[in-house]
Amino acid sequence: MSTFNMRKFHLQWYSKRTVGRHILLITVLFFPFFCYVYFNVLHCSHIRQLTTGHSAFLMLRLNNSYQHKIEKELSPPIAERKRSSDHKDYVVRAWLPRRIHERFDALSGSLERKLLVRRKYSIKNHLSIKTPKTDMLVNNISLHLNFTDGSRKEKNYKKDTQKKIENLPKSRLPQALIIGVKKCGTRALLEFLRLHPNVRAPGPEIHFFDKNYHLGLEWYRQQMPLTLEDQLTIEKTPSYFVSKQVPIRIHKLSRDMKLLLVVRDPVTRAISDYTQTVTKWPQTPPFKHMAFLNTSTGLLDTSWPAIRIGMYSHYLLSWNRFFPSRQIHVVSGENLIQDPGGEMAMVQDFLKLPRVVSNHHFYFNQTKGFPCVKKSENKGVPHCLGRTKGRTHPDISSETIERLRDFYRPFNQKFYRMVGRDFMWL
Ligand SMILES: Nc1ncnc2c1ncn2[C@@H]1O[C@H](COP(=O)(O)OS(=O)(=O)O)[C@@H](OP(=O)(O)O)[C@H]1O
C-alpha cells in the first residue's frame, strides 16, 4: 500500500517536473519565434492598417557608409540632422521596405497623427528609396518611422520637419472657381490670373461639378496643379453657372468657396455662342432661324441655350440660395478687354491676393483687337489667347438685335440690382 502510494507520488512529482521542463524547453525554443512574430508581424500589421497611399515621408537614420550614397541619389532631403559622428537623420520621401507589401502616405492627416503617437518604430531591413532617377535598394539600414523622444529639441525638430512636409508642393482642391459665363471672357480671366505668382490653375476645363462628379473628390484633386501652401488653386468651367446641381455640390465641398463670374452683354454673348456653334457645325441654320420660334411674332426660343444662358438673373438666383453676394465677384467681360489692369485689380482684391497683375502685363494687339500678355511663366514672349477667342461674328440684322435687347432688358435690370453694379448694356 505504502509502495503504491510512493509510486503514485513519484509519478505525480515526475510528471509535474516534466511538464515544467517541457514548458521551459518550448519557451526557450520558441522565444526567437515569438519575438519575430511580435516585431515583424504585429508591428507590420500595425503599419498595414496605416496604409493609405504610395510613398511616405520617413525619417531615415543612416551611418556614414550610406550617407554619400543617399546624398548622391536623393534630391535634397526635406530635412537632415547630424545625430552623432557616424549617424545622420534624413527625412526623405521613400517607399516602405519591400517586405511590407503595402505602402502608406504620411501626408494624410490621420496617418500623421497615428505615426506621431507611436513612440518609436525601427526596422532593420532592405529599404527601397524612390528617387526621380531610380529605385535604389539599400541593405541593412535603420528606418525610423517616428521621432525618438519627447525632448524640446526633438519637438522643435519635429515641428520644423512637419512644416517642411506640409509646405511641399502638392495638389490641392480649388479655393476659387470661375463658374462662367460661357463666351464672356472666362479664358482671358483665367490666363490673366495665372500671371500671378500666388495662383495656379489647370489649363483645361475640369467639369467636375457638372459632368465628372461621380469620379469623386480625389480625382478632382488629382487634376489640380501642384501648389505651395500659400498659393491659390483656381479652376474654370463656364458651364457650372447654368447647371442646376452645381451650386449645392460646391457648397457641400466648401461653403467658403470664392466664385468668379464673368458677364458680358447677353446679346453679344448669344452671337458669340452661335459663332462657336457654326465653327463646329457649319450646317447650323442662320442665327435668326435658331433664335425665333416665330419670326413674324418675334417670339424668341428661350430653350435655345445661346438665348437662355444670357438670362443671368435667373441663374444667379439659384447661386444666391447657397452663396451670399459677397462670395460671388462679378467681372465685366467688356472691361476685361478695355482695362484689363483695372478689372484684375478688383479680382485680386476679392481673392485677397496682393495686386501683382496690372496693365504693365498687357499690351493691346491691333491685329487681334484684344489685350494680349507681354510674357508669362510658360511663355517668355508676347502672346495672345488662341484662335478660338476673338472670332469674327456674323452680321445679324438690326431688327433681330433690337428684339434681343428688348427681351434681355428686364433680366439685365434685375441682374444689376442683384450684383450692385450697372453694366450699362443697352
Ligand atoms: N484678351 C482677350 N483675347 C481674346 N478674347 C477675349 C479676350 N478678353 C475677352 N475675350 C473674349 O472672350 C470670349 C470668349 O469667352 P470665353 O473664354 O469665356 O469662352 S468659353 O466659354 O471658354 O468658350 C471671346 O469671344 P469671341 O469674341 O466671340 O470669340 C472674346 O470676345
Residues facing 133 on adjacent strands: none
76: left (phi over 0), alpha (psi -120 to 50) or beta: beta
Mean predicted confidence (pLDDT) in 222-237: 92
Mean predicted confidence (pLDDT) in 109-115: 34
DSSP 355: S
Q: Tell me: the pLDDT tens digits for 380-393?
A: 889 999 999 999 99
Last residue of a domain, one of 140, 166, 192: 166
Let me know whether 339 and 205 are in one domain: yes
Q: Tell me: the pLDDT tens digits for 19-63?
A: 888 888 888 888 877 766 555 443 333 332 222 233 444 555 555
pLDDT band at 425 (very low <50, low <70, confident <90, very high): very high
Interacting residues of 178 by C-beta distance below 8 A, sequence separation 6+: 186, 189, 190, 234, 235, 236, 237, 238, 260, 261, 262
**Which of the two residues, 283 and 32, has the higher pLDDT score?**
283
Tell me, using a 6 A CB cutoff, whether residue 202 lines ligand 1: no
Residue from 313, 316, 305, 306 nearest 267 by CA: 306
Whose Cα sits closest to atom 31 in ligand 1?
Answer: 390
pLDDT, residue 34, reads 73
pLDDT band at 279 (very low <50, low <70, confident <90, very high): very high
Kindly indicate whether the ipTM for this predicted assembly is greater than 0.95, answering yes or no.
Answer: yes
Last residue of a domain, one of 166, 198, 224: 166
pLDDT band at 18 (very low <50, low <70, confident <90, very high): confident
Q: Tell me: the pLDDT tens digits for 124-136?
A: 333 333 333 333 3
Asked whether residue 28 is domain-assigned, the answer is: no
Angstrom distance (rounded) from CA 275 to CA 281: 10
Let me know whether 150 and 176 are in one domain: no
Let me know whether 143 and 192 are in one domain: no
Asked whether residue 426 is domain-assigned, the answer is: no
Q: Which of 178, 179, 183 to mutate to test the pocket of ligand 1 (most atoms within 8 A of CB)?
A: 183
Q: Cell 439685365 maps to which residue?
A: 412
Q: Tell me: the pLDDT tens digits for 163-213?
A: 666 666 788 999 999 999 999 999 999 999 999 999 999 999 999 999 999
Last residue of a domain, one of 135, 166, 197: 166
Atom of ligand 1 nearest to the CA of 272: 28
Let me know whether 200 and 150 are in one domain: no
Mean predicted confidence (pLDDT) in 337-361: 97
Ligand 1 center from residue 263 Cα (angstroms): 11
Q: What is the DSSP string of 55-104?
A: -EEEEEEEEHHHHHHHHHHSSS-SEEEEEETTEEEEEEEEPPPTTS----
> Which residues constitute the domain of residue 159?
38-166
Ligand 1 center from residue 295 Cα (angstroms): 29
Residues 184, 263 contacting (CB under 8 angstroms) = yes
Interacting residues of 354 by C-beta distance below 8 A, sequence separation 6+: 198, 348
pLDDT band at 233 (very low <50, low <70, confident <90, very high): very high
Residues 95, 104 contacting (CB under 8 angstroms) = no
Let me know whether 228 and 80 are in one domain: no
Tell me, using a 6 A CB cutoff, whether residue 361 lines ligand 1: no
Q: How many domains does the chain have?
A: 2
Asked whether residue 31 is domain-assigned, the answer is: no
Let me know whether 275 and 229 are in one domain: yes
Atom of ligand 1 nearest to the CA of 268: 28
Angstrom distance (rounded) from CA 217 to CA 97: 30
Residues facing 93 on adjacent strands: 57
DSSP 291: H
Angstrom distance (rounded) from CA 33 to CA 269: 76
pLDDT, residue 7, reads 62
Mean predicted confidence (pLDDT) in 6-27: 72
Q: Tell me: the pLDDT tens digits for 150-166?
A: 445 555 655 666 666 66
